[in-house]
Each structure stands twice: as structure tokens, then as C-alpha cells.
Structure 1
Amino acid sequence: MRTFALTAAVLLTTLTAATPTHADTTHRGTRWVHNCARPAHTDTAACQALRVVSAATEREGYGPADLLAAYGLPADGGEGATVAIIDAYDNPNAEADLGVYRAHYGLPACTTDGGCFRKTDQRGGTRIPRADGAWAGETALDLAMVSAIAPRAHLLLVEADSAGIADLGAAVNTAVAMGAKVVSISWGAPENGNAASYDTRYFDHPGVAIAVAAGDGGYGVIFPASSPHVTAVGGTSLRNDSSPRGWAEDVWSTSSTEGTGSGCSTKLTKPKWQTDTGCTRRTVADVAAVADPETGVAVYQTYGGSGWYTYGGTSAAAPIIAATYALAGAPAVGSRPASFPYAHSDALNDVVSGSTASCRPAYLCTAGPGYDGPTGLGTPNGVGAFQG
């Protein structure tokens, strides 16, 4: 058995110089670090990836078979879809590392030569930005999770020049212009007065499903998860159990300052398909998937890393949901894919336990039957909730 978490622990000393991190956390014997530092400037995003560096048990991160079983998803899906992954800076080993991940799990190859994988800059060209070890882990995580859920999908990696929202947003526009009908975003920044302008310029794409990480800072919202035009993805803890489903999920929360993001936007309007009454503006999240580093996923990374790791954070949840949209088929022209789960909430696993804080009204930070902030309407139970 490959012990990803413990392998990462052995390599921590080597990785510290290559991969800047901040604020490590230890919870029930498992320790992880934030791959990306908190934004130092306004309108700068941080990735939401959390890398396990030591663990209380020798548990492998979940692989494709685990995730497909947990969420009732078909194997070998995604044919005909293109999923765009938007990240800052370059991971020069992205394609090679993805090849190792896919071969390890028996997934079909996805290469540039075969026409399945493409890497481009934020303008759709070949002026690839400088490499960055911290964001490289985010990129490796995103590519692995889309591959795990939709292994037949084509992958378009668009690398922004910087972590500025304007550069990352330009990369989103490029991905859509290049034909992607599904976009995965695992980064965010604090909401500010520019949110509405950025939302209009970069995230309002009818007929395109954009899945965005809700954040790892506990109760509170980040942008662009708070955009009314995207599907905001919260995080859960996912464990095997003896239920008919075989899996149990509750809200991922480590402390009042770490766990899945949720809450009420202070800047952006409520989409018409959201009907909760405790927030007059946009409520986060819409749906959820696994994000707890203690129940994290397996990733292979050699730039800013040296092999197999266990990762968590809503950075894992967002590409899982993006890939589930890819399994469900291309959204209709002019449609609003963020609304699809609200029309098919019976096709989701309702998460009813756990909280990130104490807040009023309570549903904004505490799970319960039906809609709640931390997990939205629930987690995938097949693809039905992601079809128009």
C-alpha cells in the first residue's frame, strides 16, 4: 500500500523551500499546510489546496474508484467534453505527472500528442508564465480530480500570468472562447468593491458550467464563489460506513477559521433560483464534495513535490463537481448551469450534520435537511442534478 500522507511527511524539509506555504494545521493527528499563502494584495487570489504532511493513520488518499462509488457516478465517462482548469503560473511537470496518476489508476492516457491535453497561457498562446511550486500542487490536484471523475474528457489547462483576479479572469474568458463548456476554479479572494465588475467581465458565461471552490477559511464567503453565475462548491468529510450508500458525509470544519466556506455575500445579487430567506444577496454554497484533508484524495506531484500526496480543501471539491457536469453532458446554449441542481435537488445526497461556526440564521453555517450554506443542496448522487 502506498502511504501518500507519510511519504509527504518525509519530504517536508525538502519541499519547504520549493513550495511556500502558510499556517499549518494539526487535527486529530493529521497535519496539513496551505499550498498558497494568503493574498498579500487586494484583488489577488489564493489557491485553496491543502497538502497533508503527516497523518495519524497510514490511509491512502481516495482514488477514482472511491470517488465514483461515493457519488454514484459512471465509470469511464466524459467522452466529448472539454474541461478547462484555470490556475496561476506554470506547472512544468503537469502533463507528465498527470500521466503517472492516470497510469497508476488504469485511466486512459491524456497527452498533448494524443489531442486530449492542452496547456496554454491566459491569451490562448504559448507564452507560458513562470513556474511556481505552490500553485503547481493546485494544478496537479485539479487535473487529477477531473481525470478521476471524467477520464474521457479532454483537459484544457489555462495558466494565468499571475494570481491577480484580472489575469485569472482573462484565463477564464480564454477557456470559454476556446470551446470549454465546463470550467474548474479552485481559487478565490476576499470580496471587495470590484466584485460586481469582475463578475460581469469574467464569470457571466451562459451555457458554460463554472464550478468554484467556496474556500477553506470557515464561515464567510470569497469571490468568485460568491458570483451568482457560478456553482459554488462547499466541502465535506467523507468516510466509509455501513449504510446502504456505503458512505457518510458531514460538513468539513476543523475550527472557526478553517473549514468549508459558506455564508451571505455582501456585494453580489441573489440568483433567481436561490430561494433561501436568511440572505438577501447571493448565498454560498450550492453543492459540495469531499474536502477534508483527513479524508483527502491522492495526487501525484513532482514540481514543488516529489511523488504521491494526500490533498484536501475545497480545491478538491470544485474539480470533482466540474467533472460531474462534464459527465452530465454539454449545457444548452444560453442556459444557466448553476441553476441545474436547484431543479433536481432529489438527485443529491443531502448532508444534514456538522457546522463551521455559530451564526444567525443558523443554516448559513450549519448543515440540516434541505438547503444549507456549508454544503448547499448536497453532494452528487449520480449526474441527474447537473443536467439542464
Structure 2
Amino acid sequence: MTIHRSMSQRKDVPKCRPFFEMIDLKEDKLPQARPPKQFAPDPVAKTWTVPELCEAYGWPKGLEGGGVIGILAMGGGYQPSDLEAYFEGIGQPMPEVKNIVINGVGNRPNQPVSEDFDPDVEIALDIEVAASAYYVATGQPAKIRVYWTDMDLRSMAPAIQKAAADGCSVLSISWGAPENAWEWLFWKFGQNVAVQLEATLIRAAALGMTVFAAAGDREANAGEAQKTVNLPAACPHAVACAGTSKTRDKEVVWNNDPGKINGIGTGGGYSSLFFPQAWARGAPVGIGRMVPDVAGNADKNTGYRIFVHGSERVTGGTSAVAPLYAGLFAAFAKKSNGFVNPILWANRDCFQDITEGNNDGYVATIGPDPCSGLGVLIAHELANLFTTQDAPAPYKA
């Protein structure tokens, strides 16, 4: 059973204010989930196609597959012609993509919020990375289900619940908000939305769905005045995905602005809402659950080549890591193990430790740490772990 801190005992409501001022929310307006902002890569960046990155991470081949990939979308949209151009460009067949509208307007491309906040880039990234990663592992076109909601944080749980009920084996979530935004909903409306979200994740895991969530792109402060982490990544029943900067010969913690608080780089740290988890053996002790669990390439300067708005574009962020892992785990079988965090933490030899870099709050060390977690996947080792006859049984919460 996951233990939650009681928000009713917290007395630091004023600390919520910097977040809402930063994103222009009035007190009578609801906090909204956001994907990371998109930033142009350095012109001399060495970037990756997804098949190239999969090869570098030791991707398995010829897996059984059959898992359905769910993607949570809280705004934006995609053009089928962009997807067709992307998959033709990397020599893969088109995935099967279906749209399920939970609330909001559904697939509605070409509605950018601002120059550096275009949700269409996020949607293209999620679909293209997850589907192409799956194909590399299986040789089969992926089945993608996009679950559309509005940006209200309370919309996440119903979408997660629907994806699990539909039989998705994995769900990729690239959206989120700092923990104090979720606390604000409790103080404003008496709804403990963070606890409700974790309860939904527990039920989804019981149905065999594994959820991968981006840890965020604003370093250890998550864009706030103090260290914090993002939900849903900090929920114990989500696999929290952090970011690295991966070149052809080196991989370090992703941090584009060393020494700059609230710069661009991977999120990570300790939850103030969820206690440390017993299965996270070896994690440095902090006030709460350590985030992240895993890491992968996220730096825009070593980013992912995608196709959106009629042309190729390079992007990244921890929101690229979540669909990358989702594509791999969907390749294992029709049903995943659901709650995999205890299995991952018990099999640290399936990860390459990241020992260099920091997120301006925490420093990478030998072993797990709050900026790279267990490290980056050794994909064929994870495949062996989850697909052999001796594969671990689903972990019971």
C-alpha cells in the first residue's frame, strides 16, 4: 500500500504562488498540465533518428510484440501526412493510430499556444518515438491509442483509467505539473487529486498497464522557487523518466544551463507528497519518493529527429524518454507486468549507470541518484528479463 502525506497538515500554501504567477494563472483559474517547452537545438548538434538511438541502446530484435501503446494528449494534434512522411523517411510502415476523446476537442492540430509552446510538437514526438521504437524491437507496425483531454490536471486520471480498461499494455505521459499545483487543487476545492491520481495508477497496474511519465525539463526546481518534482512522475506507480545528453561516445545528466536555477535540464529530486518506497533499495534517502526511476537521451542538442508541420524538426526533453521506454515495453507482450518499478529496482544490471553531471540540485553518483535514477536502459537485458520463461511475475502493490 502506498502511503501519502496528508495535505491537510501542510501550512505552506503561499509557496504555491510563484508557479501560478509564472504561467499567468489567476487565483480563480485552474492549474493546467503542460508539456515541456520546445527549444531549438545548437546548430552543431549531433542528433539521432529513433532507429539509430535504439541501436545505441542495444535494442532487441524479433520480439513477440502485441502490446497496445497508449499516449496521453492534453492539447494539440497531429496531421496524418506528417506521420506518413516520418515513417517513410525512416523506412518503417505506418502505425495504426486511433483517437479516443475523454474530454476537450480531441485531435486539433495547428493551434500553437506560443512560439515556444506548440503542443503539436509534443504529440508528433510521442507517436513517432513510441511507434518507431516498437517497430525496431518487433518488425511490426505499432498500435497506438491517443487519449485526448483538456489541460485540467483532473483530466489525467479518467484518461489513465480508460487506457487501462481498453487493454493498453503501456501508457506514455509527457505532461505534468509541479507538486504544489496539485496541492492547490486540494486547498481550493477540497479534492486530493494527487492521491486520486496515484489510486488510478494502482488500478491501472492491476489491469496490466505500465505508465511511463516524464520527469520534467526545468531541473531540480521544476520552474519553482524551491526544489520540487513533477506529478505524475513522482507517483510511486508511474515509472519516472529523466533525461541525459547522449553523444556517440559519452552520456551524462542533461543540463543545458549549469549553475542556473530553473534552467533547461532534467527534473529530479524528492516528492513531498509520497513517502520513500521500500522497493527503491539503494536510493539516496530524502524526504519522499526519489525521482526518477530511469533515464534516457533528452537533450535537444543530442535530440530526436521527428516530422511535424510539414518538415523535419529536432526536439527532445524527458517527454521523449517516456515514449521510448513505452515502445520497448509494449514489444515484450500483449500484457505487461503493470507495476514494474520494484522489478526494475531489483535488476540494476539492466541499466547503465550515469555518474557524471547534475541538475542544479542533485549530482550524479555511482549507483541510483535523483537526477538519473537507475541509469539508462540496456534494452536487450530488459528484454531478456521480461520475455524469458523465468520472467518475474507481476508485482502486487
Query: Which residue number in structure 1 is paired with residue 353 of structure 2?
Result: 350
Q: Is 2:343 the counterpart of 1:340?
A: yes
Q: Is 2:91 the counterpart of 1:83?
A: no
Specify which of 280, 297, 307 is matched with residue 274 of structure 1.
280
Structure 1, 210-219 or 324-333: larger mean CA deviation: 324-333
Query: Which residue number in structure 2 is paired with residue 118 of structure 1?
Result: 98
Distance 1:267 1:311, change over 3 A: same
Counterpart secondary structure, 1:150: helix
Cα offset for 1:197? 2.6
Residues 86 and 307, structure 2, Cα contact 8 Å, conserved in 1: yes
Q: Distance in 2 between matches of 1:67 and 1:39?
A: 37
Residues 291-324 of structure 1, C-alpha deviation per residue, up to 9 Å, x if partnerless?
Answer: 101100001001xxx4110001111111111112
Q: Pairwise mapping of residues 285-324 of structure 1 onto structure 2 (< 5 A)?
A: 285-302=292-309, 306-324=310-328
Q: Is 2:42 the counterpart of 1:55?
A: yes
Q: Is 2:255 the counterpart of 1:253?
A: yes
Q: Is 2:354 the counterpart of 1:379?
A: no
Q: Distance in 2 between matches of 1:129 and 1:38?
A: 24
Residues 216 and 261, structure 1, Cα contact 8 Å, conserved in 2: yes
Query: Which residue number in structure 1 is paired with residue 145 of structure 2?
Result: 156
Counterpart secondary structure, 1:225: coil
Query: Which residue number in structure 2 is paired with residue 235 of structure 1?
Result: 243
Counterpart secondary structure, 2:379: coil
Residues 328 and 384, structure 1, Cα contact 8 Å, conserved in 2: no
Specify which of 144, 161, 168 is matched with residue 180 of structure 1.
168
Q: Which amino acid aligns with 1:70?
A: A
Cα offset for 1:201? 4.6
Q: Distance in 1 between matches of 2:289 and 2:317?
A: 22
Give 4+ residue runs of structure 1 displaced > 6 Å after superposition.
none
Q: Distance in 2 between matches of 1:51 and 1:127?
A: 26
Q: Distance in 2 between matches of 1:47 and 1:109?
A: 25
Residues 169 and 334, structure 2, Cα contact 8 Å, conserved in 1: yes
Query: Which residue number in structure 2 is paired with residue 6 of structure 1?
Result: none
Specify which of 307, 324, 327 is matched with residue 331 of structure 2.
327
Q: Pairwise mapping of residues 57-206 of structure 1 onto structure 2 (< 5 A)?
A: 57=44, 59=46, 61-75=47-61, 79-93=65-79, 95-110=80-95, 116-122=96-102, 128=106, 130-131=108-109, 132-133=111-112, 134-151=118-135, 152=140, 153-160=142-149, 162-192=150-180, 193=183, 194-204=192-202, 205-206=204-205
Residues 191 and 223, structure 1, Cα contact 8 Å, conserved in 2: yes
Q: Which amino acid aligns with 2:102?
A: Q
Distance 1:119 1:96, change over 3 A: farther
Q: Distance in 2 between matches of 1:330 and 1:287?
A: 23
Q: Distance in 2 between matches of 1:154 and 1:77?
A: 15
Cα offset for 1:341? 1.3
Residues 195 and 268, structure 1, Cα contact 8 Å, conserved in 2: no
Q: Which amino acid aligns with 1:252?
A: W
User: Which protein is richer in strand relative to its size?
Assistant: 1
Q: Distance in 2 between matches of 1:345 and 1:122?
A: 37
Cα offset for 1:198? 3.2
Paired residues, number: 325
Q: Distance in 2 between matches of 1:277 and 1:352?
A: 14
Q: Distance in 1 between matches of 2:24 and 2:232?
A: 14
User: Which protein is richer in helix relative to its size?
Assistant: 2
Residues 146 and 320, structure 1, Cα contact 8 Å, conserved in 2: yes
Q: Distance in 1 between matches of 2:65 and 2:34?
A: 31
Counterpart secondary structure, 1:268: coil
TM-score of the superposed pair, with normalisation by structure 2:
0.76
Distance 1:289 1:78, change over 3 A: farther
Distance 1:98 1:38, change over 3 A: farther
Residues 341-368 of structure 1, C-alpha deviation per residue, up to 9 Å, x if partnerless?
Answer: 112110111111000124xxxxxx1111
Query: Which residue number in structure 2 is paired with residue 7 of structure 1?
Result: none
List runs of 5+ in structure 1 lacking aligned partners.
1-36, 111-115, 242-247, 359-364
List runs of 5+ in structure 2 lacking aligned partners.
1-21, 113-117, 184-191, 221-227, 387-391, 393-397
Q: Distance in 1 between matches of 2:380 and 2:24?
A: 35
Q: Pairwise mapping of residues 25-44 of structure 1 onto structure 2 (< 5 A)?
A: 38=23, 40=25, 42-44=30-32
Residues 356 and 374, structure 1, Cα contact 8 Å, conserved in 2: yes
Q: Distance in 1 between matches of 2:269 and 2:198?
A: 21
Q: Distance in 2 between matches of 1:367 and 1:264?
A: 15
CA RMSD of aligned residues (A): 2.3
Cα offset for 1:331? 5.0
Residues 234 and 262, structure 1, Cα contact 8 Å, conserved in 2: yes
Counterpart secondary structure, 1:142: helix
Q: Distance in 2 between matches of 1:102 and 1:129?
A: 20
Q: Distance in 1 between matches of 2:376 and 2:329?
A: 13
Q: Distance in 1 between matches of 2:62 and 2:49?
A: 14
Residues 49 and 316, structure 1, Cα contact 8 Å, conserved in 2: no
Distance 1:271 1:385, change over 3 A: farther
Distance 1:105 1:295, change over 3 A: same
